[in-house]
Structure 1
Amino acid sequence: MIATSHKGAGASFTSKRLADAVGAILVPTDRSVISFGRDIFRHRSDLYHIQFEYRTFGGVARSLTILPLLTAVLSSLGPVVVTLHGLVTEASLRERHFKRLVHTAFRYSLRATGCFATAFVVHSEEMRKTAEGDYGLHHVSVIPLGSDPPPSGAGARPATHRVVFFGFIRPEKGLNHLLRAIGQLRGAVPDIQLTIAGSVVRSRERGYLLGLQEQVQAEGLTKHVTFLTKFLSDGEIAELMRDAAVLALPYTDRFVEVSAIVHHLAGFGVPLVCSKTPRFSELEDGVECLKATPEPDALARGILRILTEPALASSLSQGLLRRSKLDSWDHVAARHRDLYRELMRAWSPHHASAV
């Protein structure tokens, strides 16, 4: 399995979990071309699986160039599966310079990759529709991201009014809107608390974090907001989730993806407020989450409903717990193995029993 190991890429975590679950050799892309190529050909395999995110091989342009070339080379050795962790559309690039050029570059790269790839994997129906309709790809399978098993006591309602954001701290996460929502809720919920937990990976995003901290000061939220700006251990994440009454993910971007954070935390059963964006299209509104436009008023209404309606909070919690069981890493690994077997049987009878 070929994937980035960069801590700033969400796919690095999920790729490692999948590789462990299916028993695959993981070859990281974060090295020189010579070292990477040596590792690829040293581990001759019956099937090759590339985990592709926007910067899998370094910068975006470099990654879009290497992906079809690598797929072409590997296709002479065995079946090649390419998992797409995200897709761009013109809507998702609406605030970027040269958006049509960037969109065209992605389409040409993935279409060229499709000439050599045996199959593609995406994580939601929305992604499949975009891959087939916008990008013209074929042989696209939908396999969800995996989820960890629920810990003991998952779904218990804490005696707090703590809202938690967890993930990389970036402008497209909508945290400025979430801070304003917390400010609006101080009157109705005087003891409301917000914990913003995560880290800044790219140096150019540090200014965004500083801006959030200045916003907290300017809007008088210092008693209500705590920042945990670091990589959290599994134990620290568990402690954070046990104390959370609401998980808030108010993303503003329009990239066609799914949220690895949702799958990672679903097993804790913390009721979720998320934005009405493609990233959360796999979740059923009112069953697994409350969806809101990423604006302060709408976010505040969603958070207040969860804090003041115990039956709703319990229902949303149970919805996420069900998803964590249906999308467990064991189930996800089994679906990948089934796909691998199917592709290897079609490739050559000699490989039929390899996985």
Structure 2
Amino acid sequence: MRIALVGPAYPYKGGGARHTTELAHRLTAAGHDVVIESWHAQYPAALYPGRQTIDVPEGALFPGTRHRLAWYRPDGWWRVGRALSREVDLVVVTVLSPVQVPPYLTLLAGASRDAETVALCHNVLPHERGRIDTLLMRSLLARVDAVLTHSPEQQELARELRPGAIASVRLAELPPHLPDTPPPSAVEPRGVRHRLLFFGIVRPYKGVDVLLRALAAGPPQVSLTVAGEFWGGSEELRALAAELGVGERVRWHEGYVPAAQLAALFADADAAVLPYRSATATQNVWLAQEHGLPVIATRAGTIPGHVTEGADGLLCEPGDPADLARAITDFYRSGEPERLRAGVRPVDPGPYWKRYLTALLPN
């Protein structure tokens, strides 16, 4: 089958670009003829605080990648759609934000109905959403032939936005697409450090404020590293840490963390903490496990399916600082960090990708 994946790829950074690229590689390995239609300019700077691109690839680049789309060139959206209508049998638009809906609707209008279309939704709606987001996503989901979602909750949400066509809303768990990093053995372990790690973009739904409150209520010798880009700045969280009396116990590592720095970052922690209030899917459990770290996480989205409680991590309730403090206290009981670390195993991506391609492609 001839397939076009419309979405971010290098030099764009983060999980969305890695997923698009890995999906292209997997489809090609399965015998399909694949092209990535990526962006020359994806978002206006005002809509994405921070740097959008990276200088060094974090995985194998896909040779069939074109960068013909720009947010400020609607005529280009149409022209790419017209070209794809003559080139491919299937167009997959990768939805990371409702901001992408106008370009995608224009591209799909250009493609007419000659190719089958799928909306691959990393999030059907944003975690912090506005009314216009629902209207935009309802328009896009009504236009495509099928929708692929990554959790049962997201599948149900897409079905609510696409009444009368619920059978075409498919479900497949987001498969592993981790960055290429140095092997964990490249960094010598140093025993229990009494340091936890939060890693990733810092946004309200990620619950870093909950983690700070739990840190204040938990064992006083435990410290925390918060590493990643801050959506809207770190001032409020820094002020909260000072108010809670844990300001000296928090190390702030602001900005995007390149893949080459991940091994050292994870090696400096006893466990990764995912204090999410809500979630669809995340790579961070698998990323921690790839680096030999157990995980302390909330029962949000698909996270509980990746953590075997008491074997390679601990779980707690979302939005509950007291329960997270309880999990941190339990983690630091004598011998527990070592025992849980010994139970960590890297994920096998093969079965996940096999199920994913089956759900994505037409029957």
Short-chain TM bin: 0.7 to 0.9
Q: State the distance in 2 between where 1:138 and 1:36 align.
A: 29
Q: Does the aligned pair in 2 maintain the 1:3–1:56 contact within 8 Å?
A: no
Distance change >3 Å, CA 79–CA 335, structure 1 → 2: farther
User: C-alpha displacement at 1:267, in angstroms?
Assistant: 2.1
User: C-alpha displacement at 1:120, in angstroms?
Assistant: 2.2
Unaligned runs of 5+ in 1: 58-62, 347-355
Q: State the distance in 1 between where 2:286 and 2:307 align.
A: 14
Residue correspondences, number: 311
TM-score normalized by the length of structure 2: 0.71
Indicate the residue corresponding to 2:202 in structure 1: 169
User: C-alpha displacement at 1:196, in angstroms?
Assistant: 0.1
- Residue identity matched to 1:271: P
Q: State the distance in 1 between where 2:14 and 2:260 align.
A: 21
- Structure with greater strand percent: 2
Indicate the residue corresponding to 2:27 in structure 1: 22
Q: Does the aligned pair in 2 maintain the 1:285–1:291 contact within 8 Å?
A: no
Secondary structure of the residue aligned to 1:15 is: helix
TM-score normalized by the length of structure 1: 0.72
Indicate the residue corresponding to 2:52 in structure 1: none
User: C-alpha displacement at 1:239, in angstroms?
Assistant: 1.4
User: C-alpha displacement at 1:152, in angstroms?
Assistant: 4.9
Distance change >3 Å, CA 220–CA 108, structure 1 → 2: closer
The one of 144, 160, 163 equivalent to 2:173 is 144
Deviation string 1:21-45 (CA, Å, 9 cap, x unpaired) is: 4343222242122334444444522
User: C-alpha displacement at 1:336, in angstroms?
Assistant: 4.8
- Residue identity matched to 1:26: I
Q: Does the aligned pair in 2 maintain the 1:107–1:135 contact within 8 Å?
A: no
Alignment of 1:19-168 (within 5 A): 19-23=24-28, 24-29=34-39, 30=42, 31=70, 32-42=73-83, 44-57=87-100, 63=101, 65-68=102-105, 70-71=107-108, 73-74=110-111, 76-88=113-125, 101-102=131-132, 105=135, 108-113=138-143, 116-117=144-145, 119-132=146-159, 135-136=162-163, 137-147=166-176, 148=178, 151-153=183-185, 158-168=191-201
Q: Does the aligned pair in 2 maintain the 1:121–1:141 contact within 8 Å?
A: yes
Indicate the residue corresponding to 1:262 in structure 2: 285
- Residue identity matched to 2:249: H
Q: State the distance in 2 between where 1:124 and 1:314 align.
A: 31
Q: State the distance in 2 between where 1:197 and 1:111 align.
A: 35
Q: State the distance in 2 between where 1:9 and 1:316 align.
A: 26
User: C-alpha displacement at 1:158, in angstroms?
Assistant: 4.2
User: C-alpha displacement at 1:313, in angstroms?
Assistant: 6.7
% identical equivalent positions: 20
The one of 264, 285, 290 equivalent to 1:239 is 264
Distance change >3 Å, CA 144–CA 153, structure 1 → 2: farther
Q: State the distance in 2 between where 1:129 and 1:282 align.
A: 19
Secondary structure of the residue aligned to 2:245 is: coil
Distance change >3 Å, CA 316–CA 75, structure 1 → 2: farther
- Residue identity matched to 2:317: A
Q: State the distance in 1 between where 2:264 and 2:341 align.
A: 20
Deviation string 1:66-105 (CA, Å, 9 cap, x unpaired) is: 545544543623222221111349xx67xx7xx6x55752
Q: State the distance in 2 between where 1:230 and 1:103 align.
A: 27
Q: State the distance in 2 between where 1:54 and 1:331 align.
A: 28
User: C-alpha displacement at 1:220, in angstroms?
Assistant: 3.2
Q: State the distance in 2 between where 1:47 and 1:157 align.
A: 50
Q: Does the aligned pair in 2 maintain the 1:306–1:313 contact within 8 Å?
A: no
Q: Does the aligned pair in 1 maintain the 2:121–2:147 contact within 8 Å?
A: yes
Unaligned runs of 5+ in 2: 29-33, 43-69
Indicate the residue corresponding to 1:295 in structure 2: 320
Q: Does the aligned pair in 2 maintain the 1:87–1:257 contact within 8 Å?
A: no
User: C-alpha displacement at 1:228, in angstroms?
Assistant: 0.5
Secondary structure of the residue aligned to 1:217 is: helix
Distance change >3 Å, CA 82–CA 45, structure 1 → 2: same
- Structure with greater helix percent: 1
The one of 230, 253, 268 equivalent to 2:255 is 230
**Which has the bigger relative contact order, CA under 8 A and spacing at least 6?**
1
